[in-house]
Amino acid sequence: MRFIYTKFFAFFFAGLVFVTVLAFFQQKGWLDPVRAMVLQAPRPVIALAKGVVLPVKNFFGTVYQLKKISEENSELNAKVAELQQGLIQYEETSKENEALKKELGFVKTSKQKLIACTALSGNPFGGGDSLVLNCGREAGVEEGQAVVSQGHLVGKVIYSGQNSSNVLLANSSQFSTDAKVSQVGVSAIVKGSFNSGLLLDQVPQTSDLQKGWLVSTAGINNKIPKNIMIGEVGDLLSGNNDLFKKASVISPVDFKNLEFVFVVKN
């Protein structure tokens, strides 16, 4: 009987009564408004929390995405640069191969003894009137020898070292060589015109001269064989009262972009 008067029994009995009352109210449906109120109460707090948390989340998400996009752009730019470099190398190799094919085609049909050389650079002092080759005395290159590209005169050797040589280009104002007009066999002189082209000079006034006729070396200079093609007659530059006829000479040689040439051995 003493158990009935203890605090534990009092709490237990009060809890039992409370649960019984709640069960009765639940059965009657009287707790539904209270439950709805309890469930709806946190929503403003939740909405407020979402209003604060979501912008922060979106901000950091945007920062992360921007960083990721920046990294991807950097990778793409690197790949584009790599592809562009590969394309440049491919185009350069294609040009070299094409030039080699043309030169090899000339070599197969030529009866001359040729020394193959690679152009290393132009005139180190500017002016574009000379060329440095990677071949010299060791390969049989001598001063005064003719230099050709695809069968056409490029210039002549003015210095020959052990393994390199210098070439005076035919379009230089310092260059000249004996020549002839093939259609009539008349002798003349071809000289450079200040890096702008070639001139045919000293053609007798009595000789016929027409545009498109072929010009080649005459072979008077024993180091430059005859019949090396120089170009074709262009515009006539002289008048009827001039002592000699003069005309421009059109050469297919691209003097500014020479890569492979041949020195003609005597």
CA dist., res. 149 & res. 155, Å (int): 10
Q: What gap in Å lies between CA 200 and CA 203, rounded to an integer?
A: 8
Q: Are residues 146 and 255 in the same domain?
A: yes
Check whether residue 238 and residue 146 sit in a common domain: yes
Tally Cβ neighbours within 10 Å of residue 226. Answer: 13
Q: Within this chain, do residues 105 and 120 fall inside the same structural domain, yes or no?
A: no
Task: Look at residue 245 and tell me if it is in a domain.
Answer: yes
Q: Which runs of E-coded beta strand occur in 5-129?
A: 114-122
Residue 194 belongs to domain spanning: 115-264
pTM: 0.60
pLDDT tens, 38-59? 555 555 655 555 565 566 556 6
Annotate 223-255 with DSSP letters as a single string.
TS-TT-EEEEEEEE---TTSSEEEEEEE----G
Q: Are residues 127 and 231 in the same domain?
A: yes
For 173, the 3-state DSSP assignment is coil
Q: Which tens digits make up the pLDDT trace of 2-41?
A: 545 566 666 666 766 666 766 666 666 665 665 656 555 5
165-169 and 130-133 as β-strands: parallel, antiparallel, unpaired?
Answer: antiparallel
**pLDDT of 102 over the 90 cut:** no
Report the distance separating Cα 265 and Cα 158, nearest Å.
14
